[in-house]
Amino acid sequence: SSELTQDPAVSVALGRTVRVTCQGDSLRTYYANWYQQKPGQAPVLVIYGKNDRPSGIPARLSGSSSGNTASLTITGAQADDEADYYCSSRDITGNHVVFGGGTKLTVL
Amino acid sequence: EVHLVESGGGLVKPGGSLRLSCAASGFTFDNYAMHWVRQAPGKGLEWVSGIGWNSGGIDYADSVKGRFTISRDSVKNSLFLQMDSLRAADTAFYYCAKALTGDSSTLDSWGQGTLVTVSS
């Protein structure tokens, strides 16, 4: 089983705010990275570090962390945000990389 | 612009071998760690292996340790994954990914993947 736990599915009304969470002991030590994956496409890094966004990622996506939980927040969700979202970090030993099971975000 | 192109996937029988390649361009290959991540059809992402900028810091997921070998060639600007003793559970799309720094696990660029199917 994954060492990072995500809700399998979350939905949000168009234009509203949604939070996707990721829980794991390693998150007390390491920041989470967040990846967005749309059907038939490769994953794309959307949030990394404390709350950094790669070039081209809209500012409505943001990251935060508290204790063993990391969160990806989408403020004013758009239809284009509908995708699978995966968190990842180092595992508790720091030697391996782990991914959460993924959250399917539906924009209603 | 970073460009990563995987090749070498295909159909192989259980117990067989395959060697995946990833051709990198658009960045200074020697400066960055590289990783392999796989995704079984309809399933989530699973980290497979990573290698540091200088071929140090090699790590493997427990599920592939002892069967897979990661390597890189700075002359060819390429990343490789030698996969031996393949099992049905290894069936997946295999993505090559560039790390943010020389030893990072933050994957800021991904290839489009190559499909490996292990079946008799």
Quickly list DSSP for B19-79.
EEEEEEESS-GGGS-EEEEEE-TTS-EEEEEEE-TTS-S-EE-TTTTTTEEEEEETTTTEE
> Mean pLDDT throughout A24-51?
96
The pairs formed by A94-97 with CB atoms below 8 angstroms and a separation of 24 or more are A94/A29, A94/A30, A95/B59, A96/B47, A96/B59, A96/B61, A96/B62, A97/B35, A97/B47, A97/B50, A97/B59, A97/B105
Share of chain A above pLDDT 90, in %: 94
Q: Which residues of chain B have pLDDT under 70?
A: none
Residue A95, pLDDT > 90, answer no
Which of A96, A99, A104 would best serve as a mutation to test chain B binding (most B beta carbons within 10 A)?
A96
What single DSSP character describes residue B106? -
Whole-angstrom CA distances from B111 to A31, B72, B73 are 24, 16, 17
Tell me the per-residue pLDDT of A54-75, one tens digit each, with 9 for 90 and over: 999 999 999 999 999 999 999 9
Q: What is the pLDDT of residue A94?
A: 85
Q: What is the pLDDT of residue B102?
A: 83
Residue A2, pLDDT > 80, answer no
Query: Do the Cβ atoms of A1 and A49 come closer than 8 Å?
Result: no
Q: What is the pLDDT of residue A1?
A: 43
Measured between CA atoms, the residue of chain B closest to residue A90 is: B105
For residue B27 the two structure tokens come to 């960045």
Interfacial A residues in 36-75 facing B (CB < 8 Å): 37, 42-45, 48-49, 54
Which of A30, A97, A104 would best serve as a mutation to test chain B binding (most B beta carbons within 10 A)?
A97
Residue A48 to residue B111, Cβ atoms within 8 A:
no
Residue A97 to residue B47, Cβ atoms within 8 A:
yes
